[in-house]
């Protein structure tokens, strides 16, 4: 057998060491050729009498991120071809057989009659952890980088290579369902407590520990294949079962609004599978997996949240031919909430940070913010005291601009006022070394306008973070009119260094994310002023797939900021540029009622100290008209809240603000949570077809006004039966692991 991805060595004790080390990749992945090679290896183990047991380990820095999901995309294309040639039933059968191959392979490992041990270090996720679950003994390294888990739900799938069925037999069903539905990465100690791994040891000992188990009295039979096996949580049709599955279904519907077929299928797989023998349970899992794999939700989520996101994270939008920027020291001017957050994530990534503010006290407050965040991580066991000391040692807080002189990148995060920013730019450039990059974290002011205050506009770029910086994955890199390739590349290299996902956006008012968010909040405001109950606005938004309603979101970003944007827009573009109903609502809330949002515990919601937020009862008094909720069309409200965002995304493509369709979809989901099950606004349009979307938008425009009028690009796509991903297909780069 040719050894390409797996290197083997048989020792004198009959232990076959298998080292997974795929050539030309930074991480092992379950690709089609790797699966085929592993299958041949299993045949060898079963056939060769000299092989008494197997230990699998990795030759990479991590074990494996899981399956190459581009392979699953290929199964989707196979389905489309088979359906066109042979019909729906035949195509479904082909997908079922193709998609269950990995599950069948793992079952052969499990029932091979020979013991398999596995040594895990770094991440072991998805299909790779399903491999581990099929092995008879699992040893995990106790280092900080080791994590195990089944994150498939995050890309519209569920563990379909036996993981769902095995976890449900290893844990009580409520614990199994929680693990499967969350898709979280689990630390070794916790995994040991859950019995997902059998042993935890220092990294340099894990292979020897696995071999020691094999040399002892290893058991090559799983508990569920032994007579008398009892489920950890008891039978499904029992009192504990009735206390688990009905509430689980209710929680699923509450949390997902039934928008995610993969999670619904996973619940069914666990419920049905626990009533069946192992092999039949695996068949049920495979049938549901094949069905989910054919769903539009899975196709959209895999493309956006795996393939596109990986490509962007690996530099798909980085200017070609520009050497990698050596960013070792970052300066941040403005140690307030945003600046302190940027300082924290930079220091967390191992960069030296200089935090500058108007005086020492203000600068120290920014460093104290970092101390609180890392101390919280220490308290949760996610970092050590040494980690905290090292991180804080990388942050220098000072009022002295001269401390920025050796920084490779300086980011300003001061008050949103062009004059204030111009003063900062002058002070920074007076000390900044040649070749360093200057970035603005502005969220509202055009970068090209700010760059006019710079003596070196080719080194001036926008790096727009989202709040809270330490939690939000998206960063908009804004390319001004004079931004050079070196500055753009440096910004992208920095974003990659701090492990966030960048999208490149051409300079415009509101950039990309804020334009879509403002449209979403506007629609929420208008629904409220029309007389739709506030609770209905919020709940229908969540039914549509948004993480929070538009009123709650507005509270988070602050109502007074919304009013400032309205005032600035009116001043710059004239009174017709703002909606008078929205202006009246915001002005009443901010100026008359003094309700600024979460920051002063009064906005669309009340935020009692130590209590749960609730909608402010006074909102009803602000509504001149009150509509009967029973008479309202929920579908239309849902469409209004999504269509307004999708239209704005389409306009940014037409205007050249977004030049890569991947960035619109990835940016929308990571930046403001646009219904992830759709794959993003452009994928949503493509999914229903531009022709159907244009008809939907025109219907809303006729009823609710020209803000819903489809733009020329959408009309052209509809007329030519084209799509965004068809016309603007991005250049593909090879993706790696889930």
Catalytic residues: 464
Q: Do 273 and 165 meet the contact criterion of CB atoms below 8 Å apart?
A: yes
Helix axes 163-170, 127-134, angle to 10 degrees: 50
Question: In whole angstroms, what is the distance from residue 505 CA to residue 444 CA?
Answer: 13
Question: Among all chains, which residue has been given the structure tokens 């307004």?
Answer: 644
Give the chain's count of helices (H) and strands (E).
Answer: 33, 20
3-class SS of residue 119: strand
The CB density around residue 359, as the number of other CB atoms within 10 Å, is 9
Question: In whole angstroms, what is the distance from residue 286 CA to residue 231 CA?
Answer: 21
Q: Do 286 and 99 meet the contact criterion of CB atoms below 8 Å apart?
A: yes
Distances (CA, A) of 76 to 67, 260, 366, 661, 663: 15, 18, 49, 21, 23
The CB density around residue 26, as the number of other CB atoms within 10 Å, is 13
Q: Do 8 and 18 meet the contact criterion of CB atoms below 8 Å apart?
A: yes
Instruction: Give the distance from CA 152 to its chain's centroid.
Output: 12
Q: Do 30 and 127 meet the contact criterion of CB atoms below 8 Å apart?
A: yes
Question: In whole angstroms, what is the distance from residue 558 CA to residue 501 CA?
Answer: 25
Task: Output the six-digit token pair for 715.
Answer: 């009309």
Instruction: Give the distance from CA 238 to its chain's centroid.
Output: 37
Instruction: Give the distance from CA 113 to its chain's centroid.
Output: 40
3-class SS of residue 20: strand
Q: Do 556 and 598 meet the contact criterion of CB atoms below 8 Å apart?
A: yes
Question: In whole angstroms, what is the distance from residue 682 CA to residue 714 CA?
Answer: 11
The CB density around residue 296, as the number of other CB atoms within 10 Å, is 18
């Amino acid at each position: 057998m040719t050894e390409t991805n797996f290197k083997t060595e048989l020792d004198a004790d009959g232990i076959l060491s298998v080292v997974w080390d795929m050539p030309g990749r930074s991480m092992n992945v379950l690709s089609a050729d790797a699966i085929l090679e592993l299958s041949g290896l299993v045949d060898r183990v079963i056939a060769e009498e000299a092989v008494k047991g197997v230990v699998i380990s990795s030759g990479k820095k991590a074990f494996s991120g899981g399956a190459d999901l581009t392979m699953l995309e290929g199964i989707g294309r196979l389905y489309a071809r088979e359906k066109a040639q042979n019909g729906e039933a035949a195509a479904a059968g082909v997908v079922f057989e193709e998609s269950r191959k990995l599950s069948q392979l793992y079952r052969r490992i499990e029932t091979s009659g020979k013991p398999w041990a596995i040594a895990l270090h770094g991440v072991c996720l998805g299909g790779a952890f399903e491999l581990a679950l099929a092995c008879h003994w699992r040893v995990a390294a106790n280092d900080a980088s080791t994590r195990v888990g089944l994150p498939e739900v995050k890309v519209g799938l569920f563990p379909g290579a036996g993981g769902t069925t095995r976890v449900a037999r290893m844990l009580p069903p409520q614990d199994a369902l929680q693990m499967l539905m969350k898709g979280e990465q689990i630390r070794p100690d916790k995994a040991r407590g859950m019995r997902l791994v059998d042993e935890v040891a220092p990294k340099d000992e894990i292979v020897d520990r696995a071999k020691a188990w094999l040399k002892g009295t290893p058991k090559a039979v799983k508990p569920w294949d032994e007579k008398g096996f009892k489920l950890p949580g008891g039978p499904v049709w029992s009192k504990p079962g009735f206390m688990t599955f009905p509430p689980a279904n209710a929680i699923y519907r509450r949390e997902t609004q039934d928008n995610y077929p993969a999670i619904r299928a996973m619940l069914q797989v666990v419920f049905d599978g626990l009533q069946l023998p192992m092999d039949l349970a695996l068949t049920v899992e495979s049938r549901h997996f094949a069905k989910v794999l054919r769903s539009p939700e899975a196709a959209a989520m895999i493309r956006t949240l795996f393939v596109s996101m990986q490509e962007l994270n690996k530099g798909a939008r980085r200017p070609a031919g520009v050497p990698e920027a050596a960013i070792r020291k970052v300066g941040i001017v403005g140690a307030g909430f945003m600046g302190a957050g940027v300082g924290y994530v930079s220091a967390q990534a191992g960069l030296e940070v200089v935090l500058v503010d108007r005086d020492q006290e203000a600068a120290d407050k920014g460093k104290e913010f970092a101390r609180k965040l890392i101390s919280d991580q220490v308290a949760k066991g996610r970092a050590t005291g040494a980690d905290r000391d090292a991180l804080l040692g990388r942050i220098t807080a000072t009022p002295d601009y001269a401390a920025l002189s050796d920084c490779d990148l300086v980011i300003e995060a001061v008050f949103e006022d062009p004059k204030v920013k111009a003063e900062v730019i002058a002070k920074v450039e007076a000390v900044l070394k040649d070749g360093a990059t200057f970035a603005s974290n502005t969220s509202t002011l055009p970068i090209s306008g700010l760059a006019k205050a710079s003596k070196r506009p080719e080194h001036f770029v926008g790096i727009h973070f989202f709040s809270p910086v330490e939690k939000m994955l998206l960063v908009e890199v804004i390319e001004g009119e004079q931004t050079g390739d070196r500055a753009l590349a440096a910004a992208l290299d920095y974003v990659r260094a701090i492990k966030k996902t960048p999208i490149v956006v051409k300079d415009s008012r509101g950039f990309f994310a804020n334009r879509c968010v403002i449209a979403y909040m506007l629609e929420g405001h208008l629904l409220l002023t029309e007389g739709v109950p506030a609770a209905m606005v919020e709940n229908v938004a969540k039914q549509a797939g948004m993480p929070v309603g538009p009123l709650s979101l507005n509270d988070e970003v602050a109502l007074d900021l919304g009013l400032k944007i309205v005032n600035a827009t009116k001043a710059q573009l004239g009174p017709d540029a703002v909606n008078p109903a929205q202006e009246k609502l915001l002005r009443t809330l901010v100026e008359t009622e003094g309700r600024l949002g979460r920051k002063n515990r009064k906005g669309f919601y009340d935020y009692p100290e130590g209590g749960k937020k609730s909608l402010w009862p006074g909102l009803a008094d602000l509504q001149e008209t009150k509509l009967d909720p029973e008479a309202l069309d929920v579908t239309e409200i849902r469409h209004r809240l999504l269509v307004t965002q999708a239209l704005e995304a389409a306009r940014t493509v037409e205007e050249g603000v977004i030049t890569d369709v991947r960035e619109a979809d990835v940016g929308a989901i990571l930046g403001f949570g646009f219904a992830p099950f759709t794959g993003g606004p452009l994928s949503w349009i493509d999914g229903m077809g531009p022709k159907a979307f244009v008809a939907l938008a025109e219907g809303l425009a006729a009823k609710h006004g020209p803000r819903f009028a489809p733009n020329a690009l959408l009309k052209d796509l509809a007329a030519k039966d084209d799509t965004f991903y068809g016309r603007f297909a991005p250049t593909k780069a090879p993706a790696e692991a889930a």
